[in-house]
């Protein structure tokens, strides 16, 4: 199975700041990577697929980059609603696998 | 709008089975794979398997082949997951989700998720 290593596990930031989350695959996955947001009381939200394509409804302050084995999710000018847990997921091969998650907390 | 509504929380005895449901609405149910994902408490997400409602074709993670059985009822737009011989290791939240690709059996991202159902295994 493709192992997805996500870092950091925790990230503390303030509204208005920019943050980046890293996701590394154990082998090349081309650009078959998605990012999700998890918030209590809400269904998981697909933010980005194909490494950098924003899903409809995802604010433009979110961006994704990378290909092969190294990927990054960047959130510019954090808003209060962005404090959540973020997961990466590869869908290049079966089984799809997820990173361990990054909890973005309010500083 | 697309919605995946899952059944309520379940308390199951060790050794018993449980059947979880996922009722889809807002799109042609038969045309998109439904996937199931496990999230153990405080841990990450693990893909269990998928089913194509049109044909009931299934694909499983090897780790869940003897644990989960996926079925669908097209007449009610509902997908089901049976979990058998439950142990404490099966206590988790289980999600159904929709493949982001139309009619695709390739690995995919998940564009819509159910709200999740917490299953607790306890005597």
- A89 to chain B, any CB pair closer than 8 A? The answer is yes
Q: Which of A32, A43, A97 sits opposite B113 (nearest CB)?
A: A43
Averaged pLDDT in 10-residue chunks for chain B of 123 residues: 96 98 98 97 91 96 97 98 97 97 89 98 96
**Interface contact flag, B108 A91, Cβ < 8 Å:** yes
Residue A38: pLDDT band (50, 70, 90) is very high
Do B107 and A93 lie within an 8 Å CB cutoff?
A: yes
Residue-wise pLDDT for A43-97, tens only, equals 999 999 999 999 999 999 999 999 999 999 999 999 999 999 999 999 999 999 9
3-state secondary structure labels for all residues of A23-88: EEECCCCCCCEEEEEECCCCCCEEEEECCCEECCCCCCCEEEEEECCEEEEEECCCCHHHCCEEEE
Residue with token string 């807002």: B26
């Amino acid at each position: 199975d493709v192992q997805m290593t996500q870092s950091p596990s925790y990230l503390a930031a303030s509204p208005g700041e920019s943050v980046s989350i890293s996701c590394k695959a154990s082998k090349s996955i081309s650009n078959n990577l998605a990012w999700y947001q998890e918030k209590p009381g809400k269904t998981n939200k697909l933010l980005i697929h194909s490494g950098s394509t924003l899903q409809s409804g995802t604010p433009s302050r979110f961006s994704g980059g990378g290909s092969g084995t190294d990927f990054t999710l960047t959130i510019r000018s954090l808003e209060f609603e962005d404090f959540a847990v973020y997961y990466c997921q590869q869908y290049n091969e079966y089984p799809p696998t997820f990173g361990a998650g990054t909890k973005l907390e309010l500083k | 709008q697309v919605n995946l509504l899952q059944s309520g929380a379940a308390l199951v005895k060790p050794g018993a089975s449980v059947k979880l449901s996922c009722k889809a609405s807002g799109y042609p149910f038969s045309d998109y794979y439904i996937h199931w994902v496990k999230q153990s408490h405080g841990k990450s997400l693990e893909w269990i398997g998928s089913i194509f409602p049109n044909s009931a074709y299934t694909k499983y993670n090897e780790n869940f082949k003897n644990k989960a059985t996926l079925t669908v009822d097209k007449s009610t737009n509902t997908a089901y997951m049976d979990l058998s011989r439950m142990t404490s290791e099966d206590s988790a939240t289980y999600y159904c989700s929709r493949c982001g690709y139309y009619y695709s059996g390739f690995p995919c991202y998940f564009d819509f998720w159910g709200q999740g159902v917490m299953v607790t295994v306890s005597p």
